[in-house]
């Protein structure tokens, strides 16, 4: 069985990772992020929007580096005496797959020799996102801290041994409650890091964050195309597993929690609620909501 935090099954003799599996730039950086271990702090904030990286780093007392390749922007600097990296991921679990694997490669694989390092580095990775609430009593503009990520996206099913970290009691109850059909991906479920969760949860709504593989049909929205499961949102709202309910919908958390835990990194998602899908309410000041998310999260991370 794969031991968490290692590549024991995949690379038992610490062989070199082939060029086709680990793409390295001529600057000796991982390919998509275009960074190496020197660019990366132990504490990392992930944001979807590229512009949000600058919005956060402008609050730093010092910015050490700025790197951009495609939609992936990385700024590393100091806030309240703590070194922090901010990285934009773009939208979706497919981009999270790139970001988490390349962050881990940058810090835990020697990019010159293409072999594992003797000492593994564990990162604190906190996603700051926007989201829609699935419970009527969660106010717009509030912050929701994800205790679990429920993956409706299927990404973690492509990785060996994901069942070793899966919260089966939630997955099983969810499939039964929704009459989950065989043509849809297995709804995996992974728990947040306990230490980070306790640090951010106080005073905020918590629960299960459902991660969808799209914004429209997969989240029950219908424009010109009819959703295959038009009552999905109602089923999500009604779901309860041992007193734990689904609080919100977004598009990244399940992959972050799953890949992070398999690679022995500590992960958490904090989302500001910009819409309540149950009472059909949208925030009147999107910019102010995001600013609240950023300032609150920076203070909690550094105090």
pLDDT in tens, 108-132: 999 999 999 999 999 999 999 999 9
Confidence of residue 11 (pLDDT cuts 50, 70, 90): low
| Angstrom distances, CA of residue 252 to CA of 30, 47, 132, 240, 281 | 21, 10, 13, 21, 22
Treating both helix axes as pointing N-terminal to C-terminal, what angle do 194-201 and 286-302 enclose, rounded to 10 degrees?
A: 120
The HSE-up count of residue 111 (CA atoms within 13 Å, CB side) is 20
Through-space distance between the first and last CA atoms of the chain, rounded to whole angstroms: 38
**Structure token digits, residue 116:** 């594992």
- Separation CA 160–CA 152 (nearest Å): 18
For β-strands 109-110 and 115-116, DSSP reports them as antiparallel
Query: Which residues are paired to 132 by β-bridges?
Result: 249, 275
DSSP for the chain, please give it: -PPTTS-TTT-TT-PPPPTTTS-B-TTS-BTTT---GGG--SEEEEESSHHHHHHHHTTSSEEEEEEEETTEEEEEEEETTEEEEEEE--SSHHHHHHHHHHHHHHHHEETTTTEE-SS----EEEEEEEEEESSTTS-TT-EEEEEEEEE-S-GGGGSTTGGGG--HHHHHHHHHHHT--TTSPP-EEEEPPHHHHHHHHTTS-EEEEEE-S-SSGGGT--SSS--SSTTHHHHHHH-EETTEEEEEEESSHHHHHHHHHHTT-EEEEEEEEEEETTTTEE-S-HHHHHHHHHHHHHHHHH-
Structure-block tokens of residue 142: 């509030």
Two tokens at 245?
A: 């309910």
Which pair of tokens denotes residue 37? 């271990």
**For residue 14, pLDDT beyond 90:** no
d(CA 104, CA 172): 30
Let me know if 96 is exposed, middle or buried by CB neighbors in 10 A (0-12, 13-18, 19+): buried
- Asked whether 282 and 274 are in contact (CB, 8 A), the reply is yes
Which of 5-14, 55-64, 91-100 bottoms out in mean pLDDT, i.e. has the lowest? 5-14
Q: How confident is the model at residue 10 (pLDDT cuts 50, 70, 90)?
A: low
If you average pLDDT over residues 217-244, what whole number do you get? 94
Q: Which fold has domain 37-302?
A: Rossmann fold (3.40.50)
Does the predicted model carry a pTM greater than 0.85?
Answer: yes
- pLDDT tens for residues 62-99? 999 999 999 999 999 999 999 999 999 999 999 999 99
What is the distance of C-alpha 14 from the center of its chain? 28
What would the two tokens of residue 264 be?
Answer: 């022995």
Q: Please give the mean pLDDT across all residues of the chain.
A: 94
């Amino acid at each position: 069985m794969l031991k968490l935090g290692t590549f024991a099954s995949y690379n038992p003799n610490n062989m070199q990772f082939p060029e086709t599996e680990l793409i390295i730039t001529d600057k000796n950086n991982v390919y998509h992020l275009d960074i190496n271990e020197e660019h990366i702090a132990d504490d990392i904030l992930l944001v979807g929007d590229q512009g949000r990286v600058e919005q956060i780093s402008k609050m730093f007392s010092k910015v050490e580096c700025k790197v951009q390749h495609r939609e992936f922007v990385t700024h590393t600097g100091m806030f309240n005496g703590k070194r922090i990296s901010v990285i934009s991921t773009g939208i979706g679990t497919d981009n999270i797959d790139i970001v988490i694997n390349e962050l881990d490669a940058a810090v835990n694989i020697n990019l010159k020799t293409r072999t594992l390092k003797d000492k593994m580095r564990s990162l604190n990775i906190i996603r700051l996102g926007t989201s829609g609430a699935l419970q009527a009593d969660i106010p717009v503009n509030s912050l929701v801290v994800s205790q679990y990520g429920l993956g409706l996206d299927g990404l973690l099913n492509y990785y060996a041994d994901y069942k070793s970290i899966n919260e089966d009691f939630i997955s099983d109850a969810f499939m039964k409650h929704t009459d989950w059909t065989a043509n849809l991906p297995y709804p995996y479920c992974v728990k947040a890091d306990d230490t980070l969760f306790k640090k951010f949860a106080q005073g905020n709504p918590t629960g299960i964050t459902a991660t969808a593989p799209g914004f429209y049909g997969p989240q029950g929205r219908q424009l010109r195309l009819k959703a295959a499961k038009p009552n999905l949102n109602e089923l999500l709202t009604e779901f309860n597993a041992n007193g734990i309910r689904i609080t919100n919908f977004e598009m990244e958390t399940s992959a972050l929690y799953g890949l992070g835990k398999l690679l022995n990194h500590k992960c958490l998602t904090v989302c500001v609620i910009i819409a309540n899908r149950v009472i059909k309410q949208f925030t009147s000041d999107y910019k102010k909501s995001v600013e609240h998310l950023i300032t609150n999260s920076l203070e909690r991370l550094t105090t």
